[in-house]
Amino acid sequence: MDTNLTVTRHELLQVADAVAREKSIERDEVLEAMEQAIQKAGRAKYGHEHDIRATIDRKSGEIRLARFRQVADPIENEFTQITPKDAAARNPALKLGDFLVEELPPIDFGRIAAQTAKQVIVQKVREAERRRQFEEFKDRKSDIVNGLVKRVEFGNVTVDLGRGEGILRRDELLPRENFHNGDRVRALIYEVREELRGPQIFLSRTRNEFMAKLFAQEVPEIYDGIIEIKAVARDPGSRAKIAVISNDSSIDPVGACVGMRGSRVQAVVGELQGEKIDIIPWSNDPATFVVNALAPAEVAKVVLDEEAHRIDVVVPDDQLSLAIGRRGQNVRLASQLTGWDIDILTEAQESERRTEEFRVRSQLFIDALDVDDVIAHLLVTEGFTKVEDVALVPLEDLAGIEGFDEGVANELRERARAYLQAQDERLGVRRQELGVSEDIAAIEGLTPAMLVALGEAGIKTLDDLADLSADELISREDGLLRNFNLGEAEANAVIMAARAHWFADEAKPDEAGAEKAGEEKSA
């Protein structure tokens, strides 16, 4: 009998070793799963209300089953606790809180008990395997991995990564890209998430980081940090632009990425199913960078509007279609790469726009300042764009314009100020008609025109304004004050000023409580 037991013990350890090797998990985790399975079978035999524990000797494989009862006074659970008197009768050394351990005979596993034990072991091993997978992949975000296609369901690809499985969803695949079971695939890990069904490893072949990592694998100078990838913009499967800069003036970043006879860039193009890649030198100067990004189109002139973060690019007539690209692809990718909104104009369109702007601004001064077109044209030519510029400019600057003297400059400034005052009065009346409260009007940084714009949008009380975010005020697409060149810091200051009364209201009960406490103390 002892011989049989010894064989069984050795077999138990051999099974644990085999499972640990197969699942790439710790041997101890497998043995702990077996202990829990034996423990569950023991409780099924002796009663689930008992505290039955099983241990497996890590060297001999011997299984020990025991019932644990804690010394307690008073007794709350007679199955898991024992009085000090009864405990002392069995072991005088036991104190309150100690456990009385009673050995139980080995279990003769029946069919149901064995099946239960097997289920527990399988479940615990699966949990350990999932933990190991999550620990292994959780820090590998943004890594490129290679794997084999395991199955394809509804366009989503499950990839065997060796020690885990990745999911390559249909929207993360290149257009017209099809995989079949057994195909080798390379992809980027962009997210690792722990879920109830196990760790989920999400892969992508369309993200910008995937292209950047591919270039890092093909170009040693990028891997070594000599060349840096500053930005990537992609239309996956069709075209991409990548901006690079060299930290070593002796190395051409574009040439290094292209490689001998285009070998390096072609390796990346081949992996991305023929996606065309424009490699562009990065520049710290926005105008230069935008011109580079619009390659292969030639640019005649650029005009930056830093406040609106927009740039107008003027190209020769024969370069317009090349600059815009098929279905706007070239200018769209250039905009994504640089982070600037880009408007493409021909030289004729730009000349027409400048003429119209000149006419509109001249007419503004003619109407507002009651001057003739000669003076209005002079103001526009000198760079004045709005009446406020004339009202606030130093007198000597205005008088310094050719054809003006101090008397003319002073008269123009007075007319500008009178116009603005009358305009503010009109806007003040309009603001009151809209029902915008005086509390909002008192907030520093809000002009009468801004108050009218808020009123027309239904923002009439401090609470209305306080509920807004800075983006809702200044967003270029639909911000309520997008036409007033309000900065983010200024917008936040306005919103915090509107919220100030919330904190004042919260402080009042505390102050009242403090006063009451002070009165009681005095009494």
CATH of the domain at 197: 2.40.50.140
pLDDT one-digit tens code per residue, 114-153: 565 566 666 766 777 777 777 777 778 888 889 899 888 8
Average pLDDT over residues 455-475: 87
Q: Is residue 110 part of a domain?
A: yes
State whether 107 and 16 are in the same domain: yes
Model pTM?
0.59
pLDDT of residue 3: 34
Token pair of 357 as six digits: 């702007």
Angle of helix 406-434 relative to helix 347-369, nearest 10 degrees, comes to 90
Single residue among 204, 236, 261 that ends a domain in this structure: 204
State whether 109 and 171 are in the same domain: no
Average pLDDT over residues 43-49: 83
Sign for the pseudo-dihedral over CA of 461, 463, 467, 471:
positive
Q: Is residue 407 part of a domain?
A: no
For residue 2, pLDDT over 50 is answered with no
State whether 27 and 121 are in the same domain: yes
Query: Could you tell me which residues come within 8 angstroms of residue 54 by beta carbon, excluding any fewer than 6 positions away?
Result: 35, 36, 38, 39, 42, 63, 64, 65, 66
Task: Measure Cα distances from 232 to 78, 205, 273 in Å.
Answer: 69, 14, 18
With 0-12 CB in 10 A as exposed, 13-18 as middle and 19+ as buried, what is 432? middle
State whether 108 and 57 are in the same domain: yes
Single residue among 204, 225, 248 that ends a domain in this structure: 204
**Nearest CA-CA partner of 258 in 221, 297, 213:** 221
Q: Are 345 and 294 in contact (CB under 8 A)?
A: no
Average pLDDT over residues 417-433: 87
Task: Measure Cα distances from 81 to 41, 64, 86, 292 in Å.
Answer: 21, 21, 10, 80
State whether 96 and 14 are in the same domain: yes
State whether 445 and 473 are in the same domain: yes
Q: Which domain holds residue 174?
A: 138-204
pLDDT one-digit tens code per residue, 302-334: 888 887 788 988 888 888 888 888 888 999 999
The phi-psi region of residue 74 (left if phi > 0; otherwise alpha if psi is between -120 and 50; otherwise beta) is beta
pLDDT one-digit tens code per residue, 348-398: 888 888 888 888 888 888 888 888 888 888 888 888 888 888 888 888 888
State whether 180 and 151 are in the same domain: yes
Q: Is residue 248 part of a domain?
A: no
Count: domains in the chain: 3
Indicate the SS3 state at residue 442.
Answer: coil
Report which secondary-structure segment, H or E, holds 2. Answer: helix 2-23
Single residue among 180, 204, 228 that ends a domain in this structure: 204
Bridge partners, residue 302, by sequence: 313
H-assigned helices in 370-437: 373-381, 387-392, 395-399, 406-434
Identity (one letter) of the amino acid at 482?
A: R
pLDDT of residue 511: 52
Query: Could you tell me which residues come within 8 angstroms of residue 142 by beta carbon, excluding any fewer than 6 positions away?
Result: 188, 189, 190, 209, 213
pLDDT band at 111 (very low <50, low <70, confident <90, very high): low
Share of the chain above pLDDT 90, in %: 16
pLDDT of residue 198: 67
373-407: string of b/e by CB count within 10 Å (b at 16+)?
Answer: eebbbbbbeeebeebeebbebeeeebbebeebeee
Dihedrals phi, psi of 104, to nearest 5 degrees: -115, 150
Token pair of 417 as six digits: 């100020």
Q: Could you tell me the CATH number of the domain that includes residue 478?
A: 1.10.150.20
State whether 173 and 111 are in the same domain: no
Q: 120 vs 262, which has greater pLDDT?
A: 262
pLDDT of residue 233: 93
Q: Is residue 383 part of a domain?
A: no
Q: 211 vs 199, which has greater pLDDT?
A: 211
Token pair of 271 as six digits: 């992996």
Q: 199 vs 71, which has greater pLDDT?
A: 71
According to DSSP, residue 184 is labeled E
pLDDT band at 92 (very low <50, low <70, confident <90, very high): confident
Q: Mean pLDDT score of the chain, rounded to an integer? A: 82
pLDDT of residue 7: 37
pLDDT one-digit tens code per residue, 55-78: 888 887 778 888 898 888 888 888
Q: Are 275 and 234 in contact (CB under 8 A)?
A: yes
Q: Is residue 488 part of a domain?
A: yes
Share of the chain above pLDDT 70, in %: 89
Q: Could you tell me the CATH number of the domain that includes residue 117?
A: 3.30.1480.10
pLDDT of residue 4: 37
Rounded (5°) CA angle 507-512-514: 95
State whether 29 and 105 are in the same domain: yes
